[in-house]
Structure 1
């Protein structure tokens, strides 16, 4: 005879079984959660928090440290990890190429500041970096955009180091432009969080790091990025400050006139990203305007900065205009566009138009912080459309000559070279203010 089981007893057995399974799972859950947390936190392969070397730089910057080894940094990766771990948006953000990296918090003022410029930044880089902050909801109150002329150049080499997938994501998600962007498959990636083999690798790396005290890559190589303590004035290597700006090595900063001019001459012969720049490209020009409109629509103030080229560079381009006609179009167009959209503009590609002397250049492309201080009044005054005392004195003295206020637009052969006696008087007057 078949034995029958009562439903209450059957349910009780099942409930006890489920309870036993649940209890065992609860006992195992803390171990699972610890594995997930540890794999994410250590992340030796950089699956979630970026590779170890750029992560080291980003963490030091977020701690407020000046970091050594600037010339060895992957600036794009550093910025991605930095923004990912940023807890609060900066009041002011600077974007551009290495020509903006001398702009520091001291020169900008007006609250917190971060310089997110990167060497050789093209238009894709500028928009990508902005998107990193936008994607993490860390938008600044003000964007200072260093407008390099090659942002309007169609040469594909300008964007050769940029992240094309990130750019496609920005175009589709922010500007609403079809870019054939596809969401990445992250299932396999997140499986690593519960992978015992990945956990074992993270534990091995963590224990080795604790034992040796050295900051190493996954392969055991030394990570060259260290926090710099004490004064940085006499350092013989380049460093990145906590605000993202950089300081060049003392040897480079101390070049004499002949050394600077030798570099200027070499750069005049190459002028990367400008040779063959016959005209402002319609696609990149339109995309630039859409980008600016998008930034302003987010409630962010925009300020344009045009850092000057060494006077010899501009003279060289003027005397050899073939292939540079696009370069001459940019500044007038930028100024007209800015005027139509209420955007303050500071600086000029032509050093003589803003009274910047040859002695205020490191080389043909990069002016010194002193030059920026003479041109840029700080973010609060910039938003009010004010000039620096130096620029006011400059226009008062030279406004009736070749460099009238309207002559700041465009280029010609005759450009005022500021008299050295006047320069000394102007600097003295500024110190007395």
Structure 2
């Protein structure tokens, strides 16, 4: 009996010690900047807003990064772009050739409507102005209730601020404990992410990113305008590999557009757009095309009919609101080929450049 009690005490002590070590490790490494212990995001934001290009930055909180960029802006941005990773290749030189026009791409992976509102809210809350032109890269999942996630909550204060602006109400002042945030201290996936991040730091001499003045390097690069270049294996991917990736993309659960039952968030979206229009903002809708192989497979499957439904809705609403609409989910309209894409839903530069010409 005593031996059993001793073993239980030992097991509990060991378990507690392991959890404590994991908790401290995740809190200190904090690769996503969830707990505010990583200065590398601030350093990266300052580098970009000082006109530098950075490379090697991975596994970070993209939303918090955008807020830091806005806080550290040295100029007043005239044009901004917000969308998902499918809009990250909108570059200043594709949008305008005027040197006196300031542009920044604030797109984040898997962007949803709450991200748009939060990032615009950051401009109004932090800088006290709205950019004169806002390009919204709109993906079909924006109106899919079942695609919603909580990544935007790291900048939810700006969402609440902007919602109050849209509906002309006072922002709700409430203290809420973010349980999702603190659960990350013992989250398995976050622990793995921190281990990988720690390995990267050791490999790169303690640096989470580095400054570069070249695009022709084999790494993920952020230009000073916020747009992104992929590493070589995606930038120069072979056509047959792209074809396989495009087919693979349509199998199983398709990214954020599976389980699409109806158009949601329409009222909030339209109220948001009408608010921006009332403030004199010029809005451009950008519909990023899919790879033609992926598009042809998806368009024949009734499960993914909302790709077409969303595009028809956006065209109708844009016409009603006198909003310019560029692009289409349908790549055949622009005669895009498999070679113009990196996978089933991400394009090469040529696609974005042609659409914005």
Whether 1:124 aligns to 2:114 is yes
SS in structure 2 opposite 1:273?
Answer: coil
Structure 1 unpaired stretches of 5+: 1-45, 186-216, 378-433
When residues 127 and 97 of structure 1 are mapped into structure 2, their CA distance, relative to the original with a 3 A threshold, is same
Larger Rg: 1
When residues 179 and 354 of structure 1 are mapped into structure 2, their CA distance, relative to the original with a 3 A threshold, is farther
Whether 1:112 aligns to 2:102 is yes
Deviates most, 106-115 or 166-175: 166-175
Contact 1:360 1:367 (C-alpha < 8 Å) held by counterparts: yes
Residue of structure 2 in register with 1:275 after alignment: 258
Q: Deviations over 1:372-413 (max 9, x none)?
A: 121112xxxxxxxxxxxxxxxxxxxxxxxxxxxxxxxxxxxx
CA distance in 1, matches of 2:344, 2:125: 36
Residue 136 of structure 2, aligned match among 145, 164, 173: 145
Residue of structure 2 in register with 1:430 after alignment: none
Residue of structure 2 in register with 1:12 after alignment: none
Contact 2:82 2:105 (C-alpha < 8 Å) held by counterparts: yes
Q: Deviations over 1:253-279 (max 9, x none)?
A: 111111111211221123211001122
Whether 1:346 aligns to 2:326 is yes
1:313-324 counterparts in 2 under 5 A? Answer: 313-322=294-303, 324=304
Residue of structure 2 in register with 1:176 after alignment: 167
Q: How many residues are matched?
A: 292
Residue of structure 2 in register with 1:22 after alignment: none
Shift of 1:344: 0.7
SS in structure 2 opposite 1:174?
Answer: helix
Shift of 1:371: 1.2
SS in structure 2 opposite 1:263?
Answer: helix
Whether 1:296 aligns to 2:281 is no
Contact 1:308 1:365 (C-alpha < 8 Å) held by counterparts: yes
Q: TM-score, normalised by structure 2?
A: 0.76
Q: Deviations over 1:289-319 (max 9, x none)?
A: 0111111112110011111001111111122
Shift of 1:66: 0.6
Residue of structure 2 in register with 1:135 after alignment: 125
When residues 86 and 138 of structure 1 are mapped into structure 2, their CA distance, relative to the original with a 3 A threshold, is farther
CA distance in 2, matches of 1:175, 1:51: 33
When residues 73 and 120 of structure 1 are mapped into structure 2, their CA distance, relative to the original with a 3 A threshold, is same
SS in structure 2 opposite 1:143?
Answer: strand
Structure 2 unpaired stretches of 5+: 1-32, 177-200
Contact 2:53 2:212 (C-alpha < 8 Å) held by counterparts: yes
Q: CA RMSD in A?
A: 2.5
Whether 1:94 aligns to 2:77 is no
- Higher RCO (CA 8 Å, separation ≥ 6 residues): 2
When residues 262 and 103 of structure 1 are mapped into structure 2, their CA distance, relative to the original with a 3 A threshold, is same
Contact 1:308 1:349 (C-alpha < 8 Å) held by counterparts: yes
Q: Deviations over 1:137-157 (max 9, x none)?
A: 2421100111111111111x5
Q: Deviations over 1:317-353 (max 9, x none)?
A: 122212x233221001100100111101111000001
Residue of structure 2 in register with 1:82 after alignment: 69
Q: TM-score, normalised by structure 1?
A: 0.63
